[in-house]
């Protein structure tokens, strides 16, 4: 698929995804879903950065997309399912579907001017790209209900206090580059399994989550990257991880 509404750049295993429309059009939604589907199969991919080329990250979806939101996995679902760590750079208005995409990221960095809001209830709808499920898991049920039922904007400062974003920084893109650089120095399998343990384990009972953690640790013990990590530590050198 030729992409017209999304610009991408791949360097050293880090995919930079830049949204080209502040409103999620049907074409942009399809392009994003197609791209993320390809990312799921790319074993060379090490990290993903999602941002916008507009002043606003994303203010929602157009009517054409709204009528087809239930057909297949949403871009937010596909982003959340990626095995590699994902960081979102959030500027301006982050609303409705835009907020749902942001919630699917592992790390959210906000500019001081960022604001967050769900507007669906005022339009006779409700979030349906995972917003009603991911938001309470991030900030708690009471705060999530307030955002969804009232639809009032949340400032970047308040979002940080609630835990909706991880940092508020003047230069979030530069900060995101620091995050991805750190991930490139880590063992890819360890990052993948750590993400799986946290994301999947949070849906399990404690005993089952602990079993998942133990199983993933056992798998890591037999990996080449684990052996390389030990050798690099003992040899006081930088590890050369191979994602194996």
CA 15/CA 79 separation, integer angstroms = 12
CA 47/CA 38 separation, integer angstroms = 14
Q: Look up residue 121 and give its DSSP letter.
A: G
Catalytically active residues, by annotation: 100, 120
CA 3/CA 30 separation, integer angstroms = 9
H helices within 40-121, ranges in order? 63-66, 75-80, 97-103
- Which domains are present in the chain? 6-183 (3.90.226.10), 187-235 (1.10.12)
Number of C-beta neighbours around residue 26 at 10 A: 16
Whether this model's pTM surpasses 0.85: yes
Q: Pairing state of beta strands 86-90 and 60-61?
A: unpaired
Number of C-beta neighbours around residue 30 at 10 A: 17
Q: What is the pLDDT along the chain (244 residues), one digit of tens a residue?
A: 445 588 899 998 999 999 988 898 888 899 999 999 999 889 899 999 999 999 999 998 886 565 555 567 999 999 999 999 999 999 999 999 999 999 999 999 999 999 999 999 998 889 989 999 999 999 999 999 999 999 999 999 999 999 999 999 999 999 999 999 999 998 999 999 999 999 999 999 999 999 999 999 998 888 877 776 777 666 666 777 777 6
CA 149/CA 86 separation, integer angstroms = 28
Q: How far is CA 156 from the centre of its chain?
A: 17
Positive or negative CA dihedral for 73, 9, 18, 156?
Answer: positive
**Is the CB of residue 4 less than 8 Å from the CB of residue 29?**
no
Reduced to 3 states (helix: H, G, I; strand: E, B; else coil), residue 86 is strand
Q: Tell me the residue ranges of DSSP E strands in the chain.
A: 6-11, 14-19, 23-24, 47-52, 60-61, 86-90, 93-95, 107-110, 115-117, 154-155, 167-168
Q: Tell me the residue ranges of DSSP E strands in 6-125.
A: 6-11, 14-19, 23-24, 47-52, 60-61, 86-90, 93-95, 107-110, 115-117
C-alpha closest to that of 110 among 94, 97, 98, 96: 94
């Amino acid at each position: 698929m030729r992409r017209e509404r999304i610009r991408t750049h791949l360097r050293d295993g880090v995919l930079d995804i830049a949204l080209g429309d502040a409103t999620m059009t049907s074409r942009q939604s399809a392009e994003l879903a197609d791209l993320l589907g390809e990312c799921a199969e790319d074993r060379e991919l090490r990290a993903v950065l999602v941002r916008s080329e507009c002043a606003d990250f994303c203010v929602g979806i157009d009517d054409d997309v709204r009528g087809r939101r239930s057909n297949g996995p949403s871009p937010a679902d596909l982003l959340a399912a990626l095995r590699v760590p994902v960081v979102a750079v959030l500027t301006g208005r982050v609303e409705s579907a835009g907020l749902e995409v942001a919630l699917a990221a592992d790390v959210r960095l906000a500019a001081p001017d960022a604001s967050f809001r769900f507007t669906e209830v005022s339009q006779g709808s409700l979030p349906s790209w995972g917003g009603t499920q991911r938001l309470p898991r991030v900030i708690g049920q009471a705060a999530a209900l307030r955002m969804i039922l009232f639809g009032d904007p949340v400032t970047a400062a308040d979002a940080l206090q609630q835990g909706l974003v991880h940092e508020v920084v003047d230069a979030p893109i530069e900060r995101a580059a620091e995050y991805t650089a750190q991930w490139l120095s880590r063992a890819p399998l360890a990052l993948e399994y750590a993400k799986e343990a946290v994301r999947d384990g949070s849906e399990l009972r404690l005993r089952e989550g602990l079993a998942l953690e133990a199983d993933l640790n056992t798998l890591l013990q037999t990996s080449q990257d684990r052996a390389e990590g030990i050798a690099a530590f003992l040899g006081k050198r930088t590890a050369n991880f191979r994602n194996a």
